[in-house]
A = this chain, B = another copy of it.
Amino acid sequence: MLEELQKNKDDNVTDKPLIGIGLDAAVIPIKGTEVFLLQTCDYFYPIIDDPFLMGKITCANVVSDLFAMGVTKIDSLQLILKNSTRMTEKEINVIVPLLIRGFKAAASKVGCKVQLLSAIENPWCTIGGIATSVCKSNEFIMPENAQLGDAIVLTKALGTQIACSVHHWIDVPEKWCKIKNLVKKEDLDKLLKQASYSMARLNLTAAVLMHKFNAHCCTDVTGFGILGHANNLVQFQKNKNIKFVIEKLPVFQNVDKVAKACNMSKLEKGLCPETSGGLLICMTPENANLFCKEIMELEKEKAWIVGHVAEGNCIAELVPAPEIIQADFNPRLFKEHGDDF
């Protein structure tokens, strides 16, 4: 329907952020004050079976649009939630509190209270949220200042949605037979865990470090895949004589193998949709190295320099045969975060 909506927009209807600025969030200057309103809203259906973890993922996904703008303080966070009309009362009583508790657990890490909004009746469970921040101009980073020679950093590995999909294939014989010689069931369990942990992880530390290391621009990787979002980001730049070149694709362990076996070529094309993906950030190569080092110190999590900014014509491109990097599976992390999972 989005295309329909777009056909019908005119002067005061837009699917883009308002007042012409902002990429991941609406950025609205407030007249007569020194502040800006930054706002984002997103909702969807649960994509994993664990409701607590799904609550965390929802929160991480909603606030990510603000973190991508370098916002580090959320002023208002609303959880939009409705059980499926097909759920039994018992299912509702178990699942809904866990979804809320998960969302809340993630929100508490942002230091923000949560207000509940009931979504309308739906055969599918609805979950999402609205995140709002009121910022001074130095508290967010307009994603428009990429420089020739910048390094491009990615803070999370790719493959979240594939990881969720393939896990269901264990129970579908005609799909399972395509991959059973490549991976063990335990590998897919691990893959789902790794992806779930990644989706639930907040991009907050990355947002804080964007300021420290003078990020020139940033977006978060979600529905359009790394290349799609790189393309959106490059078109937003003031400098129209640059291009973004992506050379490396960090992926969860085994996700590239199963994607290939199943003719899911979007991953290696950089176009595979992600849920609650990482930040894609341009900064000087020196700062990019320091950024990656510091995020590892603070979060024990890798970030990767995946590309660079070259002379070009406002496009993003993936090099032929990009290097596929297998992101480590770190069981220690799951132990440390045991209480949360």
Please report A residues at the B interface, Cβ cutoff 8 Å: 1-2, 4-5, 7-10, 12-19, 26, 28, 30, 32-35, 37, 39, 41, 43-45, 75-76, 78-83, 92-93, 96-97, 100-101, 104, 107-108, 112-124, 126, 130, 132, 134, 136
- A9 to B96: give the CA distance in the assembly, Å: 11
- Across the interface, name the chain B residue whose C-beta is closest to A108: B12
Task: Give which listed residue, B12, B97, B123, contacts A114 with CB less than 8 A.
Answer: B12
Q: Is B30's CB under 8 angstroms from A118's CB?
A: no
- Least CB separation from A34: chain B residue: B33
Q: Nearest-CB distance from A6 to chain B (Å)?
A: 8
- For this chain, the copies found in one complex come to 2
Inter-chain CA distance A75–B30, complex, in Å, is 7
Give A81 to B12 CA distance when docked, in angstroms. 16
Closest 10 CB pairs of A and B: A8-B97, A30-B134, A12-B113, A15-B116, A13-B114, A122-B122, A5-B116, A13-B104, A8-B100, A37-B134
Using A15-B116, A18-B113, A118-B1 as known contacts, say yes or no to A26 and B101 having CB atoms under 8 A apart.
no
Cβ 8 A contact of A4, one of B26, B35, B93, B113: B93
> Which of chain B's residues has its CB closest to A29's CB?
B75
Q: Within the complex, which residue of B9, B35, B44, B101 is in contact with A35, where a contact is CB–CB below 8 Å?
A: B35
A231 to chain B, nearest CB (A): 21
Check A5 against B37 for contact (C-beta < 8 Å).
no
Contact of A4 with B96 at beta-carbon distance under 8 Å, contacts A14-B114, A115-B26, A116-B13 already known: yes
Smallest distance from the beta carbon of A245 to chain B beta carbons, Å?
32
Bound form: Cα–Cα A335–B74 in Å: 47
B100 engages A15 (CB within 8 Å): no
Report the Cα distance A43→B16, complex, angstroms. 21
Of B14, B76, B116, the residue contacting A37 (CB under 8 A) is B76
Looking at the complex, which one of B17, B107, B124 makes contact with A115 (CB distance below 8 Å)?
B17
Q: In the bound complex, what is the Cα–Cα distance between A96 and B76 (angstroms)?
A: 30
Contact of A15 among B28, B33, B115 (CB under 8 A): B115
CB distance from A35 to the nearest CB of B (A): 6
Bound-state Cα–Cα, A13 to B333, Å: 27
Do B5 and A41 touch (CB < 8 A)? no
A-B contact pairs, 25 of them (CB 8 A): A1-B83, A2-B118, A4-B92, A4-B93, A4-B96, A4-B97, A5-B81, A5-B118, A12-B107, A12-B108, A12-B114, A13-B100, A13-B104, A14-B116, A15-B115, A15-B116, A30-B35, A30-B75, A33-B136, A39-B132, A41-B80, A41-B117, A43-B120, A122-B124, A123-B123
